[in-house]
Amino acid sequence: MFLGFFKIKRKFNDVNGNATTDGRTGVNIGYNYLNLPATVTKTTPALSITYTYDANGTKLKKVNNTTATVVRNQRLMYYFSASSSYRFDKGWRSTGSVNLNGADINLQGIENSPYRGCGFSVTKELMKDKCYFTAEASNPFSKYRNNTGTTSAPTFYQERTNQRYLRSFSASLNYRFGGLKSSLKKSKKGISNDDNGISPY
């Protein structure tokens, strides 16, 4: 017993046995009275070609009548960023920031999905003008960023998706050593004449 699967491609022929449809590409073929290809057409993608022959069947001319397809991609692109900082008493300072990024577009799709991000930090001055401790949180409300890109054309569509870890926390301790001092030294310049008023001229 044999079990199998078969895929059948339909082929169409005219009364003279000429194939009028290419089962692989979907191209339609028309013939003249000499049974020579006279027209080649296809709907998607658009294709229209005409052939001209002499009485002996010699091809004289090939004309491509295909109309070019105009591709457009319209989408709003935007970017916004804002930050604010506030200084409290006793050496405390807090900072917050937010940014919005729209999708990057190209002729056949988009490269990056819209993105929203935020960050917060708190700084404490431990020693005046010397030592600082800072704690930061980046995107504490979003654990991952899902990024999707697409590419499309009349005959195909492609979508790409990747995921990146976004949330992060950090702490740092900064200490400033020494100091920067600068002083200006004035140099005195003078002219002395010890020739006792005697001129050689």
Distance of alpha carbon 17 from alpha carbon 103, whole angstroms: 54
- Look up residue 183 and give its two tokens: 């002083």
Q: How confident is the model at residue 112 (pLDDT cuts 50, 70, 90)?
A: confident
Lowest mean pLDDT among 3-12, 52-61, 150-159: 3-12
Lowest mean pLDDT among 4-18, 42-56, 58-72, 177-191: 177-191
Distance of alpha carbon 120 from alpha carbon 171, whole angstroms: 12
| Portion of the chain with pLDDT greater than 90, in percent | 35
pLDDT of residue 120: 96
- Look up residue 151 and give its two tokens: 């590419």
pTM of the model: 0.49
Q: How confident is the model at residue 195 (pLDDT cuts 50, 70, 90)?
A: low
Distance of alpha carbon 84 from alpha carbon 58, whole angstroms: 79
Please determine, for residue 137, whether its predicted confidence score (pLDDT) is greater than 80. yes
Please determine, for residue 88, whether its predicted confidence score (pLDDT) is greater than 50. yes
Instruction: Report the relative pairing of strands 109-112 and 115-127 from DSSP bridges.
Output: unpaired
More confident residue, 189 or 104: 104
The phi, psi pair for 161, rounded to 5°, reads -135, 135
CA-nearest of 31, 28, 32, 59 to 46 is: 28
Q: How far is CA 63 from CA 28, 48, 50, 105, 108, in A?
A: 16, 9, 5, 36, 29
Mean pLDDT of the region 189-201: 52
Q: How confident is the model at residue 125 (pLDDT cuts 50, 70, 90)?
A: very high
Distance of alpha carbon 65 from alpha carbon 71, whole angstroms: 19
More confident residue, 187 or 136: 136
Instruction: Report the relative pairing of strands 144-153 and 28-31 from DSSP bridges.
Output: unpaired
